[in-house]
Structure 1
Amino acid sequence: MASRPTLLRIYEIFDKHRAASLSAIGAVAALSYTLYDYLTYLSYGPGGLPYNATGWLVSTVLLRAISREGLSTRMYDNPKLPFADQPGYLPASLPQRASKRPRIGPHPVPQRQLGQLPSEEIRQKLLERFSQLGYKLEARGLVEVRQSVMELQHKGIFVPRSRKWHTVAQETRGEITHVHAGLDGSIHVTLSPDDCKKVIEAGWGQRHGLDGVRVLKKLVGFIMPVNYMLIYAPRDEAEIEVAMTIVKAGIGFMTGTREALEYFSPFGV
């Protein structure tokens, strides 16, 4: 423990050089926060931006400034929103998620969970189910499976180029959904307005932070519709059933057919 004279000497130095001392303390605090924020960005694993300091700077300095909260549903009541007047594809019995929402990383891209992560076994089961569904529906000509244009790191399910793309499909460049196969196992999927409300209200997901941000089109050439949702990573087999049901609802909406709904399994919760 520092002696009283030593503490007094430190105080005298601080008092004599107050401005320089405060600047040094501020610099150390800023450096610590910057390092913590950068390591948080890297903890997501590769995503839609470069997996380095350049990607972190773009997400932190540029995209964070224009991102929005993800839990409001008022935009889905706008009668001018495409498909706002049409019923959704999810069953009315969508159950309430059993716990509070997981903590989501502060960076809008890549959008990832930081808490309530699934076990490796559950994550692999989700990936297997997602892959099986995609290739089964691709064989029937309902979807295409190829590299995600949103994330660039994962396989995504798309509206086939042979089908006519509606307004929302054009905004996502045909992409319907993908699973984040790296660390968290969360899912991005584009849903009908009615289903977006159901998912948020039941606690299974939230909107993307850049949903509906029109300035994004000037920056990267496209806009994310307000239908673009993050579905929280399932933590057990029952939650996998719910997540896959939501994925199928997205496929039905984006392809304009309810054919995918025949693959519904009963909810496990």
Structure 2
Amino acid sequence: MNTGIDALVSYAHRHPRAITLAALTAVVTPLVVDNYRKFLGLGKSGLSPYGPLGWFVATTLTGFGRETVSTTEYERDANQERWLKVTVERRGVRPVTGWHCVPHRQLDRLPTEVIAKRLEALFEKHATANPTLVEVVPSPHEKLDPGMVIHPDIPSPHKEADQAWREIAHIHAADHSLHVVLSPADCKTAIDLGWAERHPLSGVSRIFPLSSGYLLVYAPRDEEELDVVERIIVASIGYMTGSRSVA
């Protein structure tokens, strides 16, 4: 037995790099595997492939992300127009979101199937009620989910509309959270009251031209929260189309 230990010690002295690499591999591999499984658990997204390549892309992009709940930048914005009329705070702590910024998803405090279907119906209702303002197409961002976009007859009212590829909102089928674009003042309201958080890549740089108004709105859990989320959708339509007459 001593001979075996002596041989191992001798090998370590002669090949220190190999021993160090083996030790690092033993430590890092479980962490990488766990991180990869968590990425897969977020579901498919149109922004990155699903599988090892998608995981690599998502992990790389996450390194460029930032915190998601500060609102100072919205206070400083020259545009302080408001469309959102909400004063009630969301109950409880914020939902946990995935470590990876792509796809940006909510992990807990999810809605029942009944509330999820009600949300989808409200989304469709407002799309149908505003045929001159919006249309529903495959989401320019998510690709896999329907997205509400500015009607092609309406010019983009601001640069944020172009940065968002003229997409107003979409619902994620996996968790029934939403991505929407709101005015700066409405972003402050939605985030401060606990209804939303900014996408980690929003407003980061010209390389990732996502508007700082690109928010994740948490999935509603009951009728009261559904009412607030509906108001957020209406506010997003108003801001992105420049309309004060959203049905």
Could you say which residue in structure 2 is the equivalent of 1:195? 186
Alignment of 1:90-105 (within 5 A): 90-91=84-85, 93-105=86-98
Using the TM superposition, give the Cα deviation of residue 226 of structure 1 relative to its aligned residue in structure 2, in angstroms. Answer: 0.5
Q: What TM-score do the two structures reach when normalised by structure 1? A: 0.82
Within 5 Å, which residues of 2 pair with 1:171-190?
A: 171-181=163-173, 183-190=174-181
Residue type at the aligned position of 1:90: L
What amino acid is aligned across from residue 190 of structure 2 in structure 1?
V
Whole-angstrom distance in 1 between the partners of 2:70 and 2:211: 14
Structure 1 segment 72-221 matched on structure 2, within 5 A: 72-80=70-78, 84-86=79-81, 88-91=82-85, 93-138=86-131, 141-166=132-157, 167-181=159-173, 183-217=174-208
> For the Cα contact (< 8 Å) 2:77–2:184, is it kept in 1?
no
1:9 to partner: Cα distance: 11
Residue 117 of structure 1 aligns to a residue in which SS? coil
Partner of 1:3: none
Runs of 4+ in 1 over 3 A off after TM superposition: 8-25
Match of 2:213 among 215, 224, 227: 227
Q: Percent identity?
A: 34
Alpha-carbon offset, residue 170 of structure 1: 1.3
- Offset at 1:10? 10
Higher mean Cα deviation, 124-133 or 147-156?
124-133
Aligned residues: 241
Q: CA RMSD in A?
A: 2.3
Contact 2:75 2:188 in 1 (8 A): no
Task: Indicate the residue corresponding to 2:242 in structure 1.
Answer: 256
TM-score by length of 2: 0.89
Identify which range, 18-27 or 42-51, moves more after superposition. 18-27
Partner Cα distance (1:32, 1:159) in 2: 45
With 123-132 and 35-44 compared, the bigger mean Cα shift is at 123-132
Q: Deviations over 1:100-135 (max 9, x none)?
A: 011111111110011212222322221122122212
The amino acid of 2:139's aligned partner reads S
Secondary structure at the aligned position of 2:93 is classed as coil
Letter in 2 for 1:85: Q
Q: Which ranges of structure 2 fall in alignment gaps of 5 or more residues?
A: none
1:169 aligned partner, one-letter code: A
Assess if the C-alpha contact under 8 Å between 1:143 and 1:157 holds in 2.
yes
Distance 1:23 1:128, change over 3 A: same
- In structure 1, C-alpha distance between the alignment counterparts of 2:3 and 2:204, rounded to whole Å: 54
In structure 2, the residue corresponding to 1:176 is in which secondary structure?
A: strand
Partners of 1:246 and 1:143 lie apart in 2 by 15
SS of equivalent to 2:168 = strand
1:31–1:202 CA distance, 2 compared to 1 (3 A): same
- Given that 1:14 and 1:21 are in contact with CA atoms closer than 8 Å, whether structure 2 keeps it comes out as no
Matches of 2:231 and 2:140 in 1, distance apart?
23
SS at match of 1:259: coil
